[in-house]
Amino acid sequence: MNATSPLSTQAESNPNIDLGSPLGDALAPDFRLVNQFGQAMSLSQFRGKVIMLGFEDSECTTVCPLTTQSMLQAKDLLGKAGSSVQLLGVDANPDATAVSDVLSYSRAHGMVNQWDFLTGTPAQLKKVWAAYHIAVQVQSGQIDHTPALFVIDQQGRLQKVYLTQMAYSGVSQAAQVLAQEVAGLLPGHPKLGSLQSLAAISPQDPTAHVTLPAAGGGAPIALGPGKPRLLVFFATWLSETSNLKAEMTGLNDFRAAAASSRNLPQLVAVDETVTEQSQAAAVAAIRGLGTLDYPVALDSTGRVADGYGVQDQPWLVLVNAAGKVTWSHDGWLPASALEAAAAAHP
């Protein structure tokens, strides 16, 4: 991207996207691992293609799905020229390194045939992490790693490294920045299929009146001040790491309790559609969860998730009638615990 272009100027003041750090054309360290099909692969075998190489936790529910989507969307923006681009992931979870782990993640995110998600023994992975300066640590059972994505040119030279920001609304913008960088490395510098503003996108917080499309069709779902709500932010790819059907249908118990008590808030689930394979795939997956007695909204831009401070999936939020967040929680809880939280945080 031209450093003086209007888009670049917009992006420089946007905290939700990283414009990348140049790496000085150093040769990318080679490695040999196996992909989600158990096939041995080396980085050097992809010489002649531009590579997007992301380090991603195979069980991640936070930033990694944003990285995955930005990579996929960046390649899509290149159109036919995307055939000259290789998407690679390297597992950054020391506790989930089996081929089945990277295959499961790839399936959940619709990436089985879109990339090669590489893994190996813990010792092999540690060597790759060290070569690319990826910090990986486990704290209280949670994986924390450098959310890095590298662009490598056709000659195997490192061009830039990008750090994915925890901002749902920035996914498509990050994809455009990546695609622009890759296009500059491809013959003829192909134009992107579309361009959008790279200015910071305003989040939609609980004080804003917002309407979102309903997953089941019908009338849009309203959010904002006026009545208390319990919001459950989720994505259908959580089926990889939890019994999503059981968790979602279990929320019917809270909905039933709220229907018979004025002291419990309305329940609304919000699918983070911006991280899904597609809106159609998300809707189909939601229908497959069984009967849900509460509305499910689609957050296709991520602005609501950012406005409500979502940092993980699932993310639970209680909002009072004035539009103030009174409580939030990372992870699933049974209906009884949700009732207790609502009583303690009106």
Q: Are residues 78 and 115 in the same domain?
A: yes
Distance between CA atoms of residues 268 and 259, nearest Å? 13
Query: What does the pLDDT read at residue 2?
Result: 52
Residues 57/64, Cβ–Cβ less than 8 Å: yes
Write the CATH number for 11: 3.40.30.10
Q: What is the DSSP letter of 326?
A: E
Q: Are residues 139 and 237 in the same domain?
A: no
Residue 189 is assigned to a structural domain of this protein: no
Residue 112 is assigned to a structural domain of this protein: yes
Q: Are residues 37 and 154 in the same domain?
A: yes
Strand partners, 89: 54, 117
Q: Are residues 129 and 218 in the same domain?
A: no
Q: Are residues 17 and 152 in the same domain?
A: yes
Domain count, the chain: 2
Residue 303 is assigned to a structural domain of this protein: yes
What's the sign of the alpha-carbon dihedral 150, 143, 129, 236? Answer: negative
Which amino acid is located at 248 in the chain? M
Q: Are residues 107 and 169 in the same domain?
A: yes
Q: Are residues 215 and 103 in the same domain?
A: no
Query: What does the pLDDT read at residue 158?
Result: 98
Which tokens go with 92?
Answer: 């950054």
Kindly report, residue by residue over 267-311, the tens digit of the pLDDT: 999 999 999 999 999 999 999 999 999 999 999 999 999 999 999
Residue 304 is assigned to a structural domain of this protein: yes
Q: Are residues 162 and 270 in the same domain?
A: no
The low-confidence residues of the chain, meaning pLDDT below 50, are 3-4
Length of the chain: 346
Q: Cα–chain-centroid distance for residue 95?
A: 20
Residue 235 is assigned to a structural domain of this protein: yes
Residue 216: give the domain boundaries.
210-344
Query: What does the pLDDT read at residue 149?
Result: 98
Query: What does the pLDDT read at residue 5?
Result: 61
